[in-house]
Amino acid sequence: GLPVSSGRTDAEGHAHFAKLDELRREKTPLMYVVTRGNDQSFLPIARQSQQLDLSRFDVGGLEEDGASDRLSAYLFTDRGLYRP
């Protein structure tokens, strides 16, 4: 995709952007991408219709008692015990 906004951090490491919720259709933001030197990271914007699937497993969850701020989930791993 193409950037819809860009910015730089201030001395405290904060970046400020214009309101993004008015962007529509192909300009609807999907994620924040952060670059420093040769390092790059991204953070998906949590919208139900545009979530990224970051798992190779069929995973999901249920909103608990209809409360949108709580999620019930079950976790598993692809192998047994993890040791340090």
> How crowded is residue 56: how many other Cβ atoms within 10 Å of its Cβ?
7
Both tokens of residue 27? Answer: 């300009």
pLDDT at 63: 56
Q: Which two tokens stand for residue 32?
A: 């924040």
pLDDT at residue 76 greater than cutoff 70: no
| CB-side neighbour CA atoms (13 Å) of 31 | 11
Dist. CA 73–CA 59, nearest whole Å: 9
Please name the helix (run of DSSP H) or strand (run of DSSP E) that holds residue 32, with its range, or none.
Answer: strand 31-36
Domain spans in the chain, listed from the N-terminal domain onward: 1-51
Q: Is the pTM of this model over 0.75?
A: no
CA 44 to chain centre: 2
Q: What is the arithmetic mean of pLDDT over 25-42?
A: 84
Q: What is the mean pLDDT of the chain?
A: 74
Q: What local confidence, expressed as pLDDT, does residue 73 receive?
A: 62
Mean pLDDT, range 45-71, rounded to an integer: 62
- In this prediction, residue 51 has a pLDDT band, given cuts at 50, 70 and 90, of low
54: left (phi over 0), alpha (psi -120 to 50) or beta: alpha
